[in-house]
Structure 1
Amino acid sequence: MAKRGGLVASLKAVAGDRTTQKVVERLFSHFPIRDGLERILQAREGALVVLGSNPDLQDISVDGLQIASRGFDAARLSEVAKMDGAIILDNSWKSILTANAHLSPPVDLPTTESGSRHRTAQRTASLTALPVVTVSQDRAVVTLYFNSEQVDLTPRWTIRRRILHHLQFLVVMRKRFDEAEEHLLRMEMLGLVTRRDVAHTLGLGELVVRAASGIEAMVVDSAQDPDTTAAVVADRVFEVEKLLQLTLRDYLDDQGDEARMALAGVPGHHLAHTWAVETEIGLSDVEGELVPRGHRLLYRTGVVTKRLREILLEDFSDAQALLHAPVERFMEVKGVGHKTATKLRRYFDRLLAAVHPIGQRVLTDRRESYNRLP
């Protein structure tokens, strides 16, 4: 029997046998079995589960507790696994037929295993052509035997836990990025932007993008709930990459694309240090007061196309000019009608109204700090 393991017992590891691949896919999409095996694994218990039943299996199965109830959950599977014998499921994998069963496959069937549970599982799979899963109590290893294949599934559970951990990190970082980007917007409207504000936002955004990419790579390798996980990742990384690009164009203009590549090359442990981000992307070389061009500001309005955004930025010098322009001024731009101009003005008015009390407090604090200087 061929043995396959490695870092990830992914679908690529069983690509040579499509039937085995389907069994692996079905196993990891079956939540009661998958989560039940994980409970057994975490509890450092052992188990032997036969995924299905047929006459060949019945011939070698004796004793056991017959379970008439239909359906089971992860807790039920882990509970019946505490008995020493095998667990036998029906062919739909929806019910536990027998628990604590004693399996006696012919001892002359070849096996590469040394432990009694794994020898029995391997011989049973060979005789019955049914998938058999074992959990090793001593080694905390989950193994699938099927179609002359032996697939180590343990790394999948390890990666699944890593995916959940990284998803939690992604949620936290996305929240921090949103807060930093909102703060940057407020400072832009007040004309109080610092290089630290910009670098802090960019560093957090890059961390979000990298976290999402890492999760997507793990999902591909492990086939863990790809649709659900992808939806969560897409939700958390939505628009972040776009906002990064627009922020770089706001402050570095034509050098924005080069700066984006430079940001992607910043070591992960340096992204939290604003000085490192400033230096790598060239922000520290920008002289004078930092005033955004307005790319991100117009994008956030949601009322102008990319082409119209470029036209507006050709006509307005920067974000401050956009923020305080009247409706009539917007209408002077080719392609901007009264409806669009009104929407822009109303959006900017809401932003300015929301930031006004904050601006007063920031300005007051700064004046007080200036007065305390010797």
Structure 2
Amino acid sequence: MEVSVPSNRLNRALGLIAPGTAVRDGLDRIVHGRTGALVTLGNNARLQALSTGGFSIDVAFSATALRELAKMDGAIILNDALDRILFAGVHLMPDAAVETTETGTRHRTADRVARQIGVPTVTVSASMSTISLFVDGARWIVQRPEQLLARANQALATLARYRDRLTEATARLSAAEVQDAATVREIAVIAQRLEMVRRLRLELNGYAIELGTDGRLVRLQLQELVSGLDELTVQLERDYSDEVTQLRLARLSGLDTDDLGDPALIARACGLGDEVTRKVAPLGHRQLAQIGRLSPQVADSLVSHFGSLQGLFGASTADLLSVAGVDYGIARTVREGLIRLTESAYAERLD
């Protein structure tokens, strides 16, 4: 299922009216009072040029004040910090030539103002009891917290399943790497899992922003589920890139969900070619990263010296000691770490 994900500007604007903010409190009061409203989340000279009538009040913002002022006709203009109400009862007159697909007078005005001057604008529909946010030509219907939490929990459950499958795919790749039998297909499977996780992560970030203070648990669970995945992406790209091949997993963002089911399309998109059965050899960055107490600088030196993961597996203690920055303690750590990886890889194959 394709899910609409807010843009960065829209996300920032959603954060301004998320649950727990004073502005959202005021908007909810307007909804419960069954009245409508048009509120601009900021002010500038261009907005003033579109404004006629109304009156200047310049008072400290409060939810109750916003609710009372919404009983009058006209727009309410807040300052950029959203801590003061500058004007009320304002008649906004945007350029009628600005295109809009909205139908109601309040919504058409809000959409045109947001498009014309770039200030986020909020409307409350008296008939539908809904809050709408207009930013850069987009209209976002603000969902109730209980609706958002239900969607977020469903997305978290899906993300947990994808993370489990990613862990399994990574273990299979490790086993194939140890036995020098890795192919493009194993990498494509991991790339597909990483891309699906990335898309769910974006969706959940949007839910967390919209939920405001109610999204604390969602943010904590999301952080736990995606922990280490950015590092995994970098390690894979470094392991399978050379002068000829440049693995770039970010290119998968251009594929639709159906295309992500085809390993050949994934391999081609991220730079590995079309032949999914082709054998590939990792440099060893990912496997060395799993060995504790090994600094990134030493790991890079080892990869540079031995040239591949298989070269590392074949290195003796004396060979390891010949690398700059490697002492006996580090050499023993590397040897023991590679032995553990080998044992776990063969156990994975037996399972």
TM-score under structure 2 normalisation? Answer: 0.58
- Residue 291 in structure 1 maps to residue 296 in structure 2: no
Answer yes or no: is 1:178 the counterpart of 2:180.
no
- The percentage of counterpart residues that share the same residue type is 20
* Distance verdict in 2 for CA 1:244–1:18, change over 3 Å: closer
Structure number with bigger Rg = 1
Q: Kindly indicate whether the alpha-carbon contact (under 8 Å) linking 2:173 and 2:187 is maintained by their aligned counterparts in 1.
A: yes
* 1:205 equivalent in alignment to 2:194: yes
| SS across alignment from 1:325 | coil
Cα distance change on mapping 1:297 and 1:262 into 2, 3 Å: same
1:265 paired with 2:224, answer no
CA 1:347–1:14: 2 relative to 1, 3 Å: closer
**Separation (CA, whole Å) in 1 of partners of 2:294 and 2:274:** 32
The question of 1:335 aligning with 2:331 is answered no
Structure 1 contact 249–256 (Cα < 8 Å) conserved = no
The residue aligned with 1:252 is 241
Native 8 Å contact 1:160 1:224 kept in 2: no
Corresponding residue to 2:335 among 345, 349, 356? 345
| Whole-Å separation in 2 of the counterparts to 1:284 and 1:153 | 43
Q: What CA distance in whole angstroms lies between the structure 1 residues aligned with 2:26 and 2:155?
A: 27
**1:241 aligned onto 2:213:** no
Residue 205 of structure 2 contacts residue 219 of structure 2 at CA under 8 Å; is this kept in 1? Answer: yes
Pick the aligned partner of 2:217 from 207, 221, 228.
Answer: 228
Q: Residue 83 of structure 2 corresponds to which residue in structure 1?
A: none
Map of 1:35 onto structure 2: none
Q: Deviations over 1:131-166 (max 9, x none)?
A: xxxxxxxx99689xxxxxxxx975333222111111
In structure 1, what is the equivalent of residue 144 of structure 2?
A: 155
Specify the code of the residue in structure 1 equivalent to 2:176: M
Counterpart Cα distance in 1 of 2:170 and 2:157: 20
Task: Give 2:223's aligned amino acid.
Answer: A
SS of corresponding position for 2:144: helix
Residue 292 of structure 2: aligned partner? 302
- More relative contact order, 1 or 2 (CA 8 Å, 6+ apart): 2
Are the counterparts in 1 of residues 245 and 272 from structure 2 also a CA contact under 8 Å?
A: no
Q: Which runs of 5+ in 1 are unaligned?
A: 1-6, 28-46, 49-109, 113-138, 144-151, 363-374
| CA distance in 2: counterparts of 1:323 and 1:156, whole angstroms | 53
Shift of 1:19: 4.0
CA distance in structure 2 between the aligned counterparts of 1:18 and 1:247, rounded to whole angstroms: 41
Rounded to whole Å, the distance in 2 between the matches of 1:357 and 1:328 is 28
- Pairwise CA distance, 1:332: 1.0
For the structure 1 residues 226 and 323, does the alpha-carbon distance in structure 2 shift closer, same or farther, using more than 3 Å as the test? farther
Give SS of 1:223's match: helix
Change (3 A) 1:154 1:284: closer
**Structure 2: gaps spanning 5 or more residues:** 1-9, 34-70, 74-126, 132-140
Closer, same or farther: CA 140–176 of 1 in aligned 2, 3 Å: farther
RMSD over aligned CA atoms reads 3.7
Q: Which has the higher helix share?
A: 1
1:336–1:277: structure 2 CA closer, same or farther, 3 Å change rule?
same
Q: How many residues align?
A: 239
Give the structure-1-normalised TM-score: 0.55
One-letter amino acid of the counterpart of residue 306, structure 1: P
Aligned to 2:205: 216
Q: In 2, distance between residues paired with 1:24 and 1:249? A: 49
